Chain A
Amino acid sequence: MPKDVIMKAPPDEKRFDVIVYLLAAVIIVIVLYPLLFVVSASFSDPAKVLNGEVWLLPKGVTLEAYSNILHNDKIWTGYRNTLIYTVVGTSVNIMMTLLAAYPLSRPDLPGRKLLMLIVTLTMFFSGGLIPSYLLVKNLGMVDTMWALIIPGAISTYNLIVMRTYFESSIPWELQEAAHIDGCSNWRLLISIILPLSKPIIAVMVLFYAVGHWNSFFNALIYIRSEDRYPLQLVLREILMISQSAGADGGNVGLEDQILLSESIKYAVIIVSSLPVLLMYPLVQKHFVKGVMIGSIKG
């Protein structure tokens, strides 16, 4: 409807359109500005950034920060760890979510209501941080990759989204027909359901993978050895060190470290967010679709 509204718009409507377009432009600027600033600062001379000379475009263009990062072992280790955690973690997530979502989507499963209750109840209460931490500790997963993967193996929200997709997008008649032809449930899942569910699986891979890539809190409490730190923890050290040092008055030994982290701060932000942001335009459509499927709610 909006198109024809513009065409035969009375003056009042035109004024309204102007306001709408202006507002939209303001929002775009507000959202993009912080990101542009970080990009510009990452290519600028650190001294000029510290002096507050950079506000939109880079000043004293240099690639020094990026070459510093190339030689920073900590960042590379973090990158490698995060990559491993993301790949292994996402695979586990997808497998577990599939195995739960498919049977629960079957209308002919006796006890489905009870099982769904067990699953959905967990969205509304939890034992809390301390009991969960003690559980992971007792299972001997502290300071291993598994502490980052197993406790979060299924996101209940994603499970419900996937289940809704199975229920609404795969015709039940098709499954019945396969059954009559003597197809077992496992084969049904692998050779009929899976190929038909590529879009939703893509969405889930993206949801989970971004989650793993960006998560830091689990690593903060469970990972002790520095060589197992994911990227976000390394990042936190680099980004927060100057802040906390500034707040505590700072001491001489830290000075060099602060200067170094000050100079690579911006570049590190870029480098760590790049994979997700590069992927973003490619998959943006799917993300949106995932949210929509979730909102239909079965």
Chain B
Amino acid sequence: MNKAEIHTTAAAPPSRREPGRRLIRQIARRYDLYLMLLIPITWYLVFHYGPLYGLQIAFKNFNPGKGILGSSWVGFEHFQRFFDSYYFWRLLWNTLSINLFSLLIAFPVPILLALLINEIGSKRYSKLLQNVTYIPHFISVVVIVGILTVLLSPSGPVNMLIQALGRTPTRFMESAAWFKTIFISSNIWQNMGWQSIIYIAALSGINPQLYEAAKMDGASRIRRIWHVSLPGIVPVIVILLILDIGQFMNIGFEKILLMQNNLNLESSDVISTFVYTTGILKGEYSYTAAIGLFNSLINLTLLLLVNRFARKTSDTSLW
């Protein structure tokens, strides 16, 4: 912002008496910048803020014929119905548990991978490891679920191995008990490399003298990782953690939808897939809009809480 002030004073000498007119002049001189912004900002208003306006149907009985405004208000009826439904606790538990387990298990993996890559002495070998672990990131969800299906099918290699070890094969993809494990571990497989990039960049920014000093003091490799590498990337870890929690309730929705079938529904039915099947497929718009709103509110609350907590405890926060 400082730069801006300097620039504007250089371009137009300040007349302190008329700050309003000065602003107008500044704006007028840059009208073409606003012209550039016209379409994108309109797009933001329509496609991001428009749905917020449409969200009022959560409190109405939406009737496509009458439109959003014409439909009648019903207050919190849809929310009440959702809270009273038999599947409420199942949906909430699945949504929370899948994301919580992901956070606990999948979130640290890229950090560990980055630390590992940082410890590899040979440049070629570390590049190889990086490039190999990035590959799965570029594969589509549909293909990922396809690969899972064939790997874990009764005649797939995983079950062959199980049989070779003298155990009975499992129908993994149709098992509610295995669903979360498969979902989370395949997420790790797909994303650990890509997510490690930021940590690797942060690690490479650590002053080498810190390592030298630690070595002089007789710190072992493990201790150097613990006392130099890790503290060096804590701010990045905190930011990414907050961002992840900002997406807490929405993670992996497309993949869950693709992996879902009648046999694993018990543990694969989450709020977002329920909104899709009941809202889009069955047309219960108002009801599922209310459920979606409930979902976003939990998400926003979590984000605000975590951000506040991070700001208080570690000076690092989004805002």
For B159, the chain A residues whose CB sits under 8 A away are 52
Closest chain B residue to A132, Cβ basis: B51
Tell me, in angstroms, the Cα distance from A126 to B85 when the chains sit together: 25
Q: Is the CB–CB distance between A31 and B135 below 8 Å? A: yes
Q: Out of B138, B156, B263, B272, which one reaches A280, CB within 8 Å?
A: B138
Q: Out of A103, A131, A216, which one reaches B33, CB within 8 Å?
A: A103
Q: Hey, what's the 0/1 contact readout for A82-113 against B, CB within 8 Å counting as 1?
A: 00000000000000110110111011111100
Q: Is the CB–CB distance between B40 and A100 below 8 Å? A: yes
Q: Is the CB–CB distance between A266 and B292 below 8 Å? A: no
Q: Hey, what's the 0/1 contact readout for A236-250 against B, CB within 8 Å counting as 1?
A: 100110011011100
Most chain B CB within 10 A, of A35, A102, A216, A243, is at: A243
Tell me, in angstroms, the Cα distance from A37 to B141 when the chains sit together: 18
- Interface residue tally on B, bucketed by range: 35 or more
Q: Is the CB–CB distance between B23 and A110 below 8 Å? A: yes
Q: Out of B4, B55, B136, B151, which one reaches A131, CB within 8 Å?
A: B55
Q: Is the CB–CB distance between A100 and B41 below 8 Å? A: yes
Known A240-B258, A291-B198; judge A213-B151 contact (CB<8 A). Answer: no
Q: Is the CB–CB distance between A24 and B125 below 8 Å? A: yes
Tell me, in angstroms, the Cα distance from A35 to B153 when the chains sit together: 16
Q: Hey, what's the 0/1 contact readout for B249-267 against A, CB within 8 Å counting as 1?
A: 0000110011001110000
For A122, the chain B residues whose CB sits under 8 A away are 44, 48-49
Q: Out of B54, B220, B253, which one reaches A135, CB within 8 Å?
A: B54
For A215, the chain B residues whose CB sits under 8 A away are 140
For A2, the chain B residues whose CB sits under 8 A away are 119-121
Q: Is the CB–CB distance between B120 and A21 below 8 Å? A: yes
Known A27-B133, A34-B151, A124-B303; judge A154-B43 contact (CB<8 A). Answer: yes
Q: Would you list which residues of chain B between 10 and 48 have a CB under 8 Å from chain A? A: 23, 26-27, 30, 32-34, 36-37, 39-41, 43-48
Interface check B227, CB cutoff 8 A: no
Main secondary structure on B side of the interface with A: helix
Known A126-B48, A131-B52; judge A115-B37 contact (CB<8 A). Answer: yes
Most chain A CB within 10 A, of B140, B149, B280, is at: B140
Interface check A210, CB cutoff 8 A: yes
Q: Would you list which residues of chain B between 117 and 157 have a CB under 8 Å from chain A? A: 117, 119-121, 125-126, 128-129, 131-136, 138-143, 145-147, 149-151, 155-157
For B113, the chain A residues whose CB sits under 8 A away are 27
For B189, the chain A residues whose CB sits under 8 A away are 30-31, 34
Interface check B108, CB cutoff 8 A: no
Q: Hey, what's the 0/1 contact readout for B274-295 against A, CB within 8 Å counting as 1?
A: 0110011000010011001101
Q: Is the CB–CB distance between B296 and A128 below 8 Å? A: yes
Closest chain B residue to A40, Cβ basis: B157
For B139, the chain A residues whose CB sits under 8 A away are 214, 273, 276-277
- Interface residue tally on A, bucketed by range: 35 or more
B58 to chain A, nearest CB (A): 8
Interface check B208, CB cutoff 8 A: yes
Interface check B50, CB cutoff 8 A: yes
Closest chain B residue to A101, Cβ basis: B40
A136 to chain B, nearest CB (A): 9
Q: Is the CB–CB distance between A55 and B37 below 8 Å? A: no
Q: Is the CB–CB distance between A129 and B280 below 8 Å? A: yes
Q: Is the CB–CB distance between B36 and A185 below 8 Å? A: yes
Q: Is the CB–CB distance between A273 and B52 below 8 Å? A: no
Closest chain A residue to B293, Cβ basis: A128
Tell me, in angstroms, the Cα distance from A217 to B141 when the chains sit together: 10
Q: Is the CB–CB distance between B57 and A131 below 8 Å? A: yes
For A16, the chain B residues whose CB sits under 8 A away are 119, 220-222
Q: Is the CB–CB distance between A107 and B7 below 8 Å? A: yes
Tell me, in angstroms, the Cα distance from A163 to B262 when the chains sit together: 46
Tell me, in angstroms, the Cα distance from A96 to B64 when the chains sit together: 31
For A131, the chain B residues whose CB sits under 8 A away are 50-55, 57, 289, 292
Closest chain A residue to B157, Cβ basis: A55
Tell me, in angstroms, the Cα distance from A23 to B115 when the chains sit together: 12
Q: Is the CB–CB distance between A185 and B32 below 8 Å? A: yes
Interface check B211, CB cutoff 8 A: yes
Q: Is the CB–CB distance between B116 and A20 below 8 Å? A: yes
26 contacts between A and B (CB under 8 A): A16-B220, A20-B116, A34-B147, A41-B150, A96-B40, A103-B37, A115-B41, A124-B300, A127-B52, A128-B55, A129-B280, A130-B288, A130-B292, A131-B55, A132-B54, A135-B47, A135-B54, A153-B43, A217-B253, A235-B143, A240-B146, A243-B149, A265-B146, A269-B147, A280-B135, A287-B134
What 3 A-B pairs are tightest by C-beta distance, nearest first? A127-B51, A128-B292, A131-B54
Chain A interface (Cβ within 8 Å of chain B)?
A: 1-3, 5-6, 12-13, 16-17, 20-21, 23-24, 27-28, 30-32, 34-35, 37-38, 41, 49-52, 54-55, 96-97, 99-100, 102-104, 106-111, 115, 118-119, 122-135, 150-151, 153-154, 172, 176, 184-186, 189, 210, 213-217, 221, 232, 235-236, 239-240, 243-244, 246-248, 265-266, 269, 272-273, 276-277, 280-281, 284, 287-288, 291-292, 295
12 A-B pairs besides A122-B48, A128-B293 with CB distance below 8 A are A3-B121, A12-B221, A110-B23, A118-B44, A151-B47, A154-B44, A185-B30, A185-B32, A215-B140, A235-B140, A235-B142, A248-B262
